[in-house]
Amino acid sequence: MTTTSGHARGLWVLVYLGLFGIAFSCATIFSTLPANAEGTCGPSSGSETAAEALFEPGSIGAGAEPAASHTAALKAWHDFVDSCQSATDDRAAVAFPVGIISLGLVVVPLVLILRRRSRTGSSPGDEPASGPGAPGSPSPDDRPLVGVGAPARPSWPPAEPPTQVRPSAPNPPPNYPSPPGGH
How close are the terminal C-alpha atoms of the chain, in Å? 64
- Reported for 142-147, long-range contacts at CB under 8 A and 24+ positions apart, including other chains, are none
Element holding 176 (H helix, E strand): none
State the pLDDT at residue 162: 57
DSSP secondary-structure letter at 58?
G
- CA-nearest of 4, 21, 35 to 103 is 21
Residues in contact with 32: Cβ distance below 8 Å, sequence separation at least 6, in sequence order: 42, 46, 47, 48, 49
- pLDDT for 1 equals 45
167 residue type, one letter: P
Average pLDDT value for residue range 60-86: 80
Predicted local distance difference test score (pLDDT) of residue 124: 47
Provide, for the chain, the percentages of residues in helix, strand and coil under a 3-state DSSP scheme, each rounded to the nearest 5: 50, 5, 50
Q: Which pTM was predicted?
A: 0.54
Q: Is the bond leading into 57 cis (omega within 30 degrees of zero)?
A: no
Amino acid at 38: E
